[in-house]
Chain A
Amino acid sequence: MIHSMAYVGFAIVLWGVCGLFMKLGTNRVSARSMVIWVTVGFVILLPFMWKFTSLAGLSAVVVSVGMLAGLLNGLGNWAVFACLEKGAKASVAIPLTALYPLFTVFLATVFLRERPTSLQWLGIVLALAGGAMLSYEPAIPAKSPEEPSPCVQ
């Protein structure tokens, strides 16, 4: 139990800090460049992962599905970087995009004929309401050029 909670804490800290790094990175380089640098970060870990696993025995279909998933993940990374680059706050963009399981549940319902449980229905309603509220951004009144920005950009 203690070990598993330590691993959970490890994941939360790294993923949480990552949201900050993503915003700080897109403040300095373009979204497309960020995709490339992030991929470099993943590739750095590749030899380490290869030590503990191998792709031997996997069918061509599974390899294709896994790689296609990676491709979609890369496109999603580009979209979140573009979102941050276009001025989204990290504190809005990260929780908002973390709602992606909503779409996964939808796809599983349509294509895998999975039926959402009552708890998942509750999650869907909360996600839709939360997503709409997080996206709420009142129109910003015109301000004078010398007025400082409230956020570090």
Chain B
Amino acid sequence: MQTERWHFPLWLWYALLCIFWWGLWGFLSKIGSVSANPLQMQVLFTLGMLPVALGMLLQMRWKLDRNLGGATYGILSGVATGLGTLGYYAALHEQDASVVTPLTGLFPVLTIVLAFIVLRERLNKVQMGGMVLALAAIVVLSI
């Protein structure tokens, strides 16, 4: 019989840590974007990511996982994020941020749909309710 008692999974710590780091990133981006344009910020972000990658490589004693599929998905993630950001800035060039940002904030919907189809992931009812509230929050916070 399945117990419905809630527990704090390990992955949730990392999710909260991610929110912390990305929250700080958003804060510094806000400060930097007063003087630098979005493309300049994107270049600076990339340069700033290099020490993190180098630190990871040192921690792994230069033993990088070279699984072809993993490496391809990793590189594609970087390219897709970067190109998506350029598309976002191009949209901002032609339309108000109050329209563009809430709309692009809906990207997790596509991830959820793809995860449902490709990874066969299923959410419980509480998580589905949470997903709806989270999406509404993303839109409201980006207006």
Question: CB within 8 Å of A: which of B1-59?
Answer: 1-7, 9-12, 14-15, 17-32, 35-37, 39-53, 56-57, 59
Q: A4-B100, A133-B130 are in contact. Are A19 and B108 (CB under 8 A)?
A: yes
Q: Are B81 and A108 in contact (CB under 8 A)?
A: no
Question: Contacts A11-B107, A74-B48, A83-B18 hold; do A69 and B67 have CB atoms under 8 A apart?
Answer: no
Residues of chain A with a CB closer than 8 A to B3's CB: 138-139, 141
Q: Are the C-beta atoms of A104 and B27 separated by less than 8 Å?
A: yes
| Per-position 1/0 for A93-108, Cβ under 8 A of B | 1111111111111111
Chain A binding surface SS class? helix
Query: Which listed residue (A16, A28, A134) contacts B111, Cβ 8 A?
Result: A16
Q: A40 with B74: in contact, given A45-B79, A66-B48, A127-B137 (CB under 8 Å)? A: yes
What residues make up the interface of B, taking CB atoms closer than 8 Å to A? 1-7, 9-12, 14-15, 17-32, 35-37, 39-53, 56-57, 59-60, 64-65, 67, 69-71, 73-88, 90-91, 94-95, 99-100, 103-116, 118-124, 126-127, 129-138, 140-143
Across the A-B interface, give the 9 residue pairs with the lowest CB-CB distance, nearest first. A41-B78, A70-B48, A37-B74, A103-B23, A16-B110, A133-B130, A66-B44, A19-B111, A74-B52
A residues near B (Cβ < 8 Å) are: 1, 3-5, 7-8, 10-30, 32-46, 49-50, 52-55, 58-59, 62-63, 65-80, 82-84, 86-108, 111-112, 119-120, 122-124, 126-127, 129-141, 150-152
- Name 24 A/B residue pairs within 8 A (Cβ), A-sorted: A4-B95, A12-B107, A14-B80, A14-B83, A16-B109, A17-B110, A32-B60, A33-B71, A41-B76, A42-B45, A43-B46, A58-B35, A70-B46, A70-B47, A71-B51, A72-B22, A80-B18, A82-B11, A99-B138, A101-B142, A106-B23, A112-B30, A126-B136, A151-B119
